Amino acid sequence: MTGGQVRGVLGLVAGAGMLWAAIVWPDGFNDTPLWIRIVFGGFGAILLVAGLASLSHDRRKTEALRNVIPQRADVRVAKVEDEDSTSYYAFLTIGGEKWRVPLAGGSADRALAGTAGEGRVWFSPDTGLPVAVEYDGQQLSTIPTANKVPTA
């Protein structure tokens, strides 16, 4: 089971559990305020959507790795630190087009931060977005919200 599949299944199970708790609250908790049920239901719905999105991205990624010929790209892995968080991105240049692909921050992503060179990119035939990036012999952990960077 891949990481995307594990995250997807966990999201579905946790989301379904929270929705169940919100709708069919156990008998011993009948005096639970309505707002708590609403919060549980909202978080449950969010987890279900996130689980489905993770499974869908993993399916597109697997399909692209099996069936699509990768394109060569200039890859730069960057670590972006804000006051509250640290994010990792792969900035890709492919035939004049520039892309920003968020990374999950796995060990390969962290180890390659601050480096640049040539890599390979697989695009989803369904969405036209980059779904898999290989750089320096490592498969980077992509997140399905890649977008084009406008060129001036």
**Looking at 63, 87, 102, which one is the last position of a domain?**
63
Residue 10's alpha-carbon distances to 16, 38, 57, 133, 141, in angstroms, are 10, 21, 15, 24, 18
* One domain for residues 119 and 96: yes
Q: Taking Cα atoms as reference points, which of 39, 50, 51, 45 lies closest to residue 9?
A: 51
**Which tokens in the block code for residue 108?**
């390969």
> Over the stretch 82-134, which tens digit does the pLDDT of each residue have?
888 888 999 999 988 999 999 987 777 888 888 899 999 999 888 888 988 99
- Which domain does 96 fall in, by range? 68-149
Q: Name the most confidently modeled range: 1-5, 25-29, 41-45, 141-145.
A: 41-45
Q: Do residues 88 and 126 both lie within one domain?
A: yes
Give me the helices (H) in the chain, please: 3-23, 34-67, 107-112
